[in-house]
Homo-oligomer: A and B are copies of this chain.
Amino acid sequence: MDRIIKNLDSVFEPKTVAIVGASATPNKIGNVLVKNFLEAKFQGDVYPVNPKYDEVLGYKCYPDISSIPGKIDCVIIATPAETVPQIMEDCAGKKVGGVIILSGGFEEINRNDLAGKIREIAEKNDIPVVGPNCLGVFNPYTKVDSVFLPTYKLERPKAGGIAFVTQSGAVGSTVMDLAAYYGLGISKFISYGNSTVLDEADYLEYLLHDKETETIILYIEGAKNGRKLFEAMKKVNKVKPIIAFKAGRGRGGQAAARSHTGNIAGSYLAYQAAFKQAKVTEADSLDEVFEFVKIFNQPKPAGNRVAIITNGGGMGVITADCIEDEGLILAQFSEETKKEIAGILPSYGSVANPLDLVADAGVEAYSKAIDVMLADKNIDALVIIILMQTPPIDERIIHVLSRVSDMQKKPIVTISIGGTYTEASRKILEGKGVPSYNSPNAAVKALDRFITYARYCDQLKKIK
């Protein structure tokens, strides 16, 4: 790994952070930034930098980088574009660990001169630079947080295994907000904007070696170096699955992408081919990014034979359609399974896949049916539909599902659709690591992509 990439450790795990452009005025970006560190109880030292103030939110404020005593690991810059090259010089002089430039006003408005200077200083001094024109990073493990959106509007997710590498700050932040909402844990959030110094391939390389990261989301508009990205994806995806989403596909989108981060969106077909060849899981929409990523915490399936359990017949019908649409197979239960299930069902029920436990089904019936199916060698994965609205279903279903998920025998996905009560249950499930979907299509599509990735990993093992 290049030294400059390795140095990203200073950005993600700093002991000292300087915030250039800190402000004492509430709601200003430079104020929100300092507040983030204060409220998150960041364990290291925080140095606001702004010649206008002596103090910001109780922290001593410094006129410039050079006047801060001691070593600085991470510098966050939120001042106008024209001021950034000089600040970078100061950073080099101070031998800081790494820099996050939030400010816009570079390549995206054709100020390549300013961008060039930043690149020059960074590369000469091995200073990793995130940005410019971005939201920077969030690391729930160390509480480094340059996302200048207030936490009451944009919740921060808990610590976990999903890394986000996103060219667009806004797009990435909405997905981060969703992750927090549903209790999904993340390892790193990286909004890299114009990718003036480090690009998406560099971040992938870094995350490959990051011990907290298990799965990677990549949102990209236009890569600077397509071949480099392809090689990085191929290498990293073998170890940690990548879910990639490419925006700027059509002409209108490409033009918009150009003025957004100053990158050329490039031919979508080329990206699509690269994803395919690198065996990266491609999401076709922002929804799919979120839907796909959360299944990858499950144990890898041995095949594509799926069992469906439901307490609502219609939802079983819809889900069976999805299974066939995706080219998966409705599992044929073993004779043993059929016998055992017949014992669970009411007299008017019938043993079939989808297995309709009917609306009278209680938590016990689910628990038994699931256990039987986990033991059946003809079944590779379970789709468990739970209509939370029926009277016999209560919160014990959450215990059953998280027990099954913890056993890590076969992948399970759950489907529940509804309002307040159902959404509350879904959030608890997600928080316990049980993938919960409010759409049969989304659940089955995610399962299909996970099965495809598992098959790829199997092939890799055989080659070895």
A contacts, CB < 8 Å to B: 27, 32, 104-105, 109, 149-150, 152-155, 166-175, 177-178, 180-181, 219, 221, 247-253, 255-257, 259-261, 265, 285-287, 311-318, 320-321, 323-325, 330, 348, 350, 352-354, 356, 359, 387-391, 417-423, 438-442
Contact = CB atoms under 8 A, between A and B. Distances in A.
B389 A154 contact: yes
A155 to B, nearest CB: 5
A321 B419 contact: no
Q: Which are the 4 A-B pairs with shortest beta-carbon distances?
A: A168-B314, A170-B312, A181-B419, A250-B324
A441 B287 contact: yes
A348 B104 contact: yes
Instruction: Indicate how many identical chains form the complex.
Output: 2
A320 B250 contact: yes
B420 A286 contact: no
A348 B317 contact: no
A286 to B, nearest CB: 6
A393 B285 CA distance: 25
Contacts of A354: 252, 256
Nearest to A288: B441
A359 B251 CA distance: 23
A58 to B, nearest CB: 21
A391 B149 contact: yes
A330 to B, nearest CB: 4
B317 A149 contact: no
A98 B366 CA distance: 37
Nearest to A152: B421
B324 A286 contact: no
B317 A247 contact: yes
Contacts of A265: 317
A178 B416 CA distance: 11
A420 B181 contact: yes
Given A171-B315, A181-B423, 13 more contacts: A149-B391, A153-B421, A155-B420, A168-B315, A170-B311, A171-B312, A174-B418, A177-B419, A180-B419, A247-B321, A249-B324, A260-B356, A287-B441
Contacts of A154: 389, 418-419, 421
A318 to B, nearest CB: 5
B167 A261 contact: no
Nearest to A173: B389
Contact of A260 (B172, B250, B260, B313): B313
Nearest to A149: B389
A313 B261 contact: yes
